[in-house]
Amino acid sequence: MKTFTENKKLSNFARTGVLHTRVGDVKTPTFMPDGTRGAVKSLTPEQVTNTGVEVVLANTYHLHLNPGEEVIKNLGGLHNFANRKGPMLTDSGGFQVFSLGKHVKVTEEGVYFKDPVTGEKRLITPETSIQIQLDLGADMVVAFDHLVGLDESVSDEDVKEAFDRTHRWLERCIIEFKRLTKGVKNDERPMLFGVVQGGLDLELRKKSLQIIQDSDADGIAIGGLSVGETREEMEIVLKELAPLYRDDKPRFLLGVGTPEDLRIAVENGIDMLDCVLPTRNARHATVWAENSQKIHLTNERFKEDSSVIEKGCDCYACANGFSKAFLRHQFKSGEPLAGTLASIHNLRHMMRICEEYQNR
């Protein structure tokens, strides 16, 4: 199955290309907003598409808990459920389980956790993670991995244990994925990403990448970043991996999503990124303006500012003249339109950066 075509080298490692999914091709580099519960908060599918976004990520953990993958499958899968025509990617649920902290028990079988709403004890294994994602109907799925943080409480032994378990779980994910897609034509089956782990240990990271690239995974996902490390530490890891990637597999950086992070990632060979940050920030009145400068629209200095968020931006909010003064008023009044317009702008800002690379 051909999952990626490299079009052009832009520098030592940055590149443009085409990601081949079963529901259509996607130009890269690309940014993917998080539609946690199947949709990007406060935006219609049309509004998302109009920003230039081609792929939306949905969250396996949250959809598994509510309404459940069986409900979504019976309703025709994520595309019908969310009324989205373009490609959709689901994460494995590993990050959300990790974020539950002390309420989680990791075993070789999988991860035990309590439903935060009902208190019900649940288990996600590598096999059930794949089953859930395929029942949801995603076009791209991610192998279940063991994620640890990168703060001082995490030892080298913890990182190594998670590294080893991640690759044992990858083997189980691949077996289950092949079992469930047996008989499905190559151009009709989803794409499976294996996850590179290893914390800030560069040798472990390189070994993990080699394992993923030698496996039957269709794509490479770089995990375990954006969990407490500095931007400089993230960049060191990405630079170390950049010369080692195969050209024929897409590279996906999980959970990273500021304009600066996007540029660092693409310059180091990344094709795809996802993050909730652009839309979450937007709903809290924080947007990116000229030169990706971050501004807070509720600031008093915008009370009588008739200018748009970003001069020259072609997003709906800027192109139609919604002023900073109006947006400030809407945020101060608690009107949801403000968050919608700011979200549209932030997504378009991210996609314009991607398009700058695509059009070189």
Sheet arrangement for strand 272-275: 30-33, 272-275, 251-253, 219-222, 191-196, 140-142, 88-90, 56-58
Instruction: Say how many C-beta atoms besides its own lie within 10 A of residue 333's C-beta.
Output: 9
C-alpha 36/C-alpha 10 separation (Å) is 32
C-alpha 27/C-alpha 17 separation (Å) is 6
Rounded to the nearest 5°, which phi and psi values hold at 253? -95, 120
C-alpha 65/C-alpha 83 separation (Å) is 20
Residues 6+ apart with CB under 8 A from 352: 52, 313, 314
Considering just the CA atoms, what is the radius of gyration of the chain in Å? Answer: 20
- Cβ burial of 160 (10 Å; 0-12, 13-18, 19+) is middle
C-alpha 30/C-alpha 109 separation (Å) is 35
| Cis peptide bond upstream of 126, omega within 30 | no
C-alpha 189/C-alpha 290 separation (Å) is 41
Helix, strand, coil proportions of the chain in percent (round to 5)? 45, 20, 40
Q: Which of 37, 11, 243, 263 is nearest to 253 (CA)?
A: 263
C-alpha 132/C-alpha 138 separation (Å) is 10
Rounded to the nearest 5°, which phi and psi values hold at 25? -85, 150
The Cα diameter of the chain in Å comes to 63
Instruction: Say how many C-beta atoms besides its own lie within 10 A of residue 134's C-beta.
Output: 22
Active site members: 91, 274
